[in-house]
Structure 1
Amino acid sequence: MWTEKNNHLTQSFSFKDFKEAFAFMTDVAQVAEELNHHPWWSNVYNKVEFRLTTYDAGTTVTQKDHALAKRISALAEQYNAKPGND
């Protein structure tokens, strides 16, 4: 579940291994380009963490962030990723 805090939507996902996490990130990159809205993310081994915000709107959460979050979650489900939140 995505959490809104400090003007960001945050979520992390865990995958089977690094290769799967990286494949997921590649798929997210394609969606980000499609939506022209790019996430801050971090990857360590099998974990990918996201922080979404809209800088053009004053660094706040907007519909763009919610739309990207929804697409990211759908991709994560396809990978059977385990959601978490830090």
Structure 2
Amino acid sequence: MVAGDRFVAWLILCLVGGFCAHSWYWYVRSIIFYVRNGFDFSEDFGPEFYWADRGGDDDCVLMKPKAKLMFALPSFVVVTSAMLIFIVLGLIGII
């Protein structure tokens, strides 16, 4: 790997690592919150997530707490963790 490529890889590692830590942080905090709350999804917790546009101007639909805990947060955890693993393997020289 060339020195310039290595710098870019380290920079990407820091950025993706931050996103990965942030997604893990909110996923674990949400699980702890809802376990202590008795899985009462009437109370929203954590960052806001939106479904895609449903047509129209600025017509974004906010995700419900259950969908956020079961779909959005685990998806972000898996994607950012996989990206981080590939970046680390690239820096080590395995791939």
TM range (shorter): 0.3 to 0.5
Which has the larger Rg? 2
Q: TM-score, normalised by structure 1?
A: 0.33
Identify the structure with the greater helix proportion.
Answer: 2
Q: What is the TM-score of this pair, normalised by structure 2? A: 0.30
Higher strand share: 1
Instruction: Name which structure has the greater RCO, CA cutoff 8 Å, separation 6+.
Output: 1
